[in-house]
Amino acid sequence: MASIEKTERDRAAGFVAPALIWVLAFFVLPFAVMIGMSFARLEGRSIVHGFFPDNYLRFFSEPSLFKGLTVSLEITLIVTVISVLLAYPLAWIIAMRVPVRYQRLALMLAVLPFWTSYVVRSYAWLLVLGQNGVINKALMGLGVIAEPLAIASTRTATVIGFVHFFVMLLTLTIYANLIQLSPNYARAAADLGASAFATFRHIILPLTLPGVVTGAFLTFVLCIGDYITPQILGGNSELTLPQLIMLQLGRRGDFPMASAMSIILMAVVTLAYLACARWLKLDRV
């Protein structure tokens, strides 16, 4: 009996081994190497390994670097809040007001632009927001403005590009949450004399909060780590943390500094995770 169990276990270990080895070799090991790298030092063009806290100290003392973190945090928070505020009503309308048989269609339409390439989507916003873009041409044609608005290459453009992406994502997650609610809760509240608003405020909203927080957390993680959108839409007016990381790599091949900044980025994400861990149900997305 024991030997049967042992061969079974060996067989199972054989099944799981390839995946495990892949993750250890190409995820855990690189991550460990990167932590080591973050404590190395760049002297001239060569990397000196050791245990120097220089990179971390420099990051927190040099305003041009540290500002990347505050810019990233500000943009991410603004984007997360706006996206939730825009997506919730849409998800609610699709779940509660659109006839059931059209809901799937409405949802698919709401996320259709997901299927354009991410890089192309940011580029498309450039066409809309640029100096000669659709918005400026339209507003000038209508005589609303005389000079084109400078929207591209500003934080506003970055935020718009991000919000566009995350409204789609959040509509999906919040909708999935809303349709799981039994209509009986709302009915019961109404029977007890609650107004529509009170029902929403005290019944629907609290029940969907875990879904909202999960979506918001996803938004936070994806937004703060993204390089493409701020690089294409924000230009070089103010740099986010990922842009600064790429700059370290490109300009002088400063792997130690880039590694340290990546670790800091991960630390921020981990803190955000701990902050909302109470409501998170990542397995239910």
Partner 1 sequence: MGRILTWAYMALIYGFIFLPVGVLVLFSFQDSRLPVPPFTGPSLRWYAQVLGDRDLMAALGNSLLVALISSAVALLLGFLAAHALARYRLPGSVLIRGLLIAPMTVSYLIIALGLMTVFNQIGLRPSLLATGIGHVVINLPLCFAILYAAMGDQQKNAERAARDLGASEARVLWHISAPMLMAPMAAAFFLSVTFSWDEFIIAFLLTRFDVTLPVEIWSMLRSGLSPKTNAIGSLVFLVSISVLILLELTIFRKPRQ
| Ranges within 130-159 binding partner 1 (CB under 8 A) | 130, 132-134, 137-138
**Of residues 16, 142, 144, 192, which one binds partner 1 by CB under 8 A?**
16
Residues in binding contact with partner 1, number by CB under 8 A: 73
Tokens of 254: 């400063």
Q: Can you give the three-state secondary structure of 9-21, one letter per residue? A: HHHHHHHHHHHHH
Q: Which stretch binds partner 1 (CB under 8 A): 51-59, 198-206, 207-215, 227-235?
A: 227-235
**Of residues 164, 166, 173, 219, which one binds partner 1 by CB under 8 A?**
164
Give the whole-angstrom CA distance, residue 222 versus residue 22. Answer: 24
Would you say 65 or 90 has its CB closer to partner 1? 90
Would you say 20 or 275 has its CB closer to partner 1? 20
Least distance in Å: CB of 232 to partner 1? 7
CA-nearest of 20, 106, 85, 96 to 219 is: 85
Is 81 a residue that touches partner 1 (CB under 8 A)? Answer: no
Is 55 a residue that touches partner 1 (CB under 8 A)? Answer: no
**Of residues 75, 186, 257, 265, which one binds partner 1 by CB under 8 A?**
265
| Ranges within 27-46 binding partner 1 (CB under 8 A) | 27-31, 33-34, 37
Residues 228-257, one symbol each (x = binds partner 1 by CB under 8 A, - = not), give: x---x---------x--xx--x-----x--
CA-nearest of 101, 100, 103, 129 to 233 is: 129
Least distance in Å: CB of 165 to partner 1? 10
Residue burial 193-227, b: 16+ Cβ < 10 Å; e: rest: ebeeeebbeebbeebbebbbbbbbbbbbeebbbbe
Q: Classify burial at 91, counting beta carbons within 10 Å of its beta carbon; exposed 0-12, middle 13-18, buried 19 or more.
A: buried
CA-nearest of 248, 245, 215 to 227 is: 245
**Of residues 167, 176, 178, 244, which one binds partner 1 by CB under 8 A?**
167
